[in-house]
């Protein structure tokens, strides 16, 4: 029997149900007298094999490597410098037939490489991207915590470590390891359209804004499922408590005090979940349309009353001034004449000519008073 085995193949000669010969690449002849002969061909491109003991005993040691991995061990198979296979715990058969012969030195170099990793520790060395892509599916986890954030490492459901910004990796073979990242940068939270009734039963809408950041990442991770919702509810309740104790006039008169009154309750609730309140402010107090019109009328009436008071005050002062002037004129008749002449002068400047009609003896009297 003539048998041709290709470069990417290996073959076993099975006579009478028993493997008796291992064939490498090339042309082979097999002779068997009066016994059934079967040729089993295997492809070595998959790198792994599953041979029984009889067939394994026929394979040369330099063509097949048997790797036994403990539960805490893993193996990486690379071919021609490229990672191609990740092996878990157990016994594995790896083809090592891919070789390169140096033409000058005739030295044979194995192109299939096996690297064994010890995964008993939690922390792991960060693997190259192509190696991590093979290992991530089962045995390897990693996380990149960017600047301004921290990484949390969980081992079997418990928080194991809080790590600063950086790239971290862990083995996931002997235990369940997970990574999560928490952003430490400042963020904003807004409560909009919160309807609250004042002490004098006026319904208004309130817009409150707060800025905060993470103060205790460990507490944030283990205390509350959604810490933003906790702070949001605290802002709502604090606004309700602060406004229901004030009338509308008190609220409008001391609007800046409202945020100060709300702050202690929000600070305490934020610290309970690992957050730090940086600033709390009331952006808008929105009144109903009818209440706006009523307040505008009240303000208009107040301003009109103030204007009337000022007008009366000015009229009183003017009357007093006129009374004093009349008293001075009554005591000095000559001043009356001078006022008349001033009036004539002003009038003449406007109309050009003024004709003064006097009775008999008026001119001498005018001249006499003028000479005096």
pLDDT: which is higher, 253 or 271: 271
Residue 215: its pLDDT value, please? 92
- Going from the C-alpha of 286 to that of each of 116, 192, 248, 289, 334, the distances in angstroms are 69, 10, 12, 9, 68
What share of the chain has pLDDT > 70, as a percent? 85
Residue 122, classed as helix, strand or coil, is: coil
Most confident of 103-112, 178-187, 197-206, 299-308: 178-187
DSSP 157-225: TEEEEEE-SEEEEEE-SSS-EEEEEEE-S-EEEEEEEEEEE-TT--EEEEEEEEEEEES-HHHHHHH-S
232 CA to centre of own chain: 16
| Burial class of residue 56, CB neighbours in 10 A (0-12, 13-18, 19+) | middle
pLDDT tens digits, 312-326:
787 788 787 777 777
For the whole model, what pTM was predicted? 0.66
pLDDT over threshold 70, residue 147:
yes
Mean pLDDT (whole number) for 272-288: 85
pLDDT over threshold 60, residue 95:
yes
pLDDT level of residue 356 (50, 70, 90 thresholds): low
Residue 278: its pLDDT value, please? 92
The domain ranges of the chain are: 2-101, 129-183, 187-285, 288-326, 332-372
pLDDT tens digits, 177-193:
999 999 999 999 988 87
Residue 372: its pLDDT value, please? 45
Of the candidate ranges 54-63, 108-117, 316-325, 361-370, the one whose mean pLDDT is the lowest: 361-370
pLDDT level of residue 301 (50, 70, 90 thresholds): low
Residue 316, classed as helix, strand or coil, is: helix
Q: Which residues contact 38 (CB under 8 A, 6 or more apart)?
A: 13, 14, 15
Residue 7, classed as helix, strand or coil, is: coil
pLDDT over threshold 90, residue 168:
yes
Residue 141: its pLDDT value, please? 93
5's enclosing H/E stretch is strand 2-5
Among 1.10.760.10, 3.20.20.70, 3.30.479.30, 3.10.20.30, name the CATH number for the domain at 187-285. 3.30.479.30
When the pLDDT of each residue in the chain is averaged and rounded to a whole number, the result is: 83
Of the candidate ranges 33-42, 228-237, 247-256, the one whose mean pLDDT is the lowest: 247-256
Residue 34: its pLDDT value, please? 75
């Amino acid at each position: 029997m003539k048998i041709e085995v290709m470069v990417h193949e290996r073959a076993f000669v099975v006579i009478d149900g028993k493997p008796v010969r291992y064939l490498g690449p090339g042309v082979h002849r097999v002779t068997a007298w009066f016994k059934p002969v079967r040729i089993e061909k295997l492809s070595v491109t998959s790198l792994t094999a599953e041979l029984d003991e009889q067939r394994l005993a026929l394979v040369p040691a330099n063509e097949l490597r048997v790797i036994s991995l403990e539960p805490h061990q893993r193996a990486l198979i690379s071919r021609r410098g490229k990672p191609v296979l990740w092996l878990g715990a157990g016994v594995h058969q790896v083809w090592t037939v891919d070789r390169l012969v140096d033409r000058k030195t005739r030295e044979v170099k194995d192109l299939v490489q096996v690297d064994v990793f010890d995964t008993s520790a939690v922390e792991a060395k960060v693997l190259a991207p192509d190696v991590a892509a093979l290992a991530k599916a089962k045995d390897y986890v990693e996380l990149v915590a960017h600047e301004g954030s921290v990484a949390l490492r969980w081992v079997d459901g418990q928080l194991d470590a809080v790590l600063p910004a950086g790239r971290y990796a862990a083995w996931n073979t002997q235990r369940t390891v997970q990574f999560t990242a928490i952003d430490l940068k400042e963020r904003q939270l807004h409560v909009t359209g919160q309807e609250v009734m004042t002490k004098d039963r006026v319904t208004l809408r309130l817009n409150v804004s707060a800025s905060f950041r993470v103060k205790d990442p460990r507490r944030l991770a283990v205390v509350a499922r959604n810490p933003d919702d906790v702070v949001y509810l605290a802002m709502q309740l604090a606004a309700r408590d602060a406004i229901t104790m004030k009338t509308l006039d008190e609220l409008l008169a001391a609007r800046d005090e409202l945020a100060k009154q709300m702050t202690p309750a929000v600070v305490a609730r934020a610290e309970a979940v690992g957050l730090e309140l940086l600033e709390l402010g009331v952006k808008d107090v929105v009144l109903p349309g009818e209440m706006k019109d009523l307040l505008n009328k009240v303000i208009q009436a107040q301003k009109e009353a103030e204007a009337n008071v000022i007008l009366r005050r000015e009229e009183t002062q003017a009357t007093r001034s006129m009374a004093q002037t009349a008293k001075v004129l009554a005591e000095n008749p000559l001043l009356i004449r001078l006022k008349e002449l001033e009036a004539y002068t002003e009038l003449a400047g406007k109309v050009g000519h003024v004709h003064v009609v006097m009775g008999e003896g008026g001119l001498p009297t005018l001249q006499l008073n003028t000479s005096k």
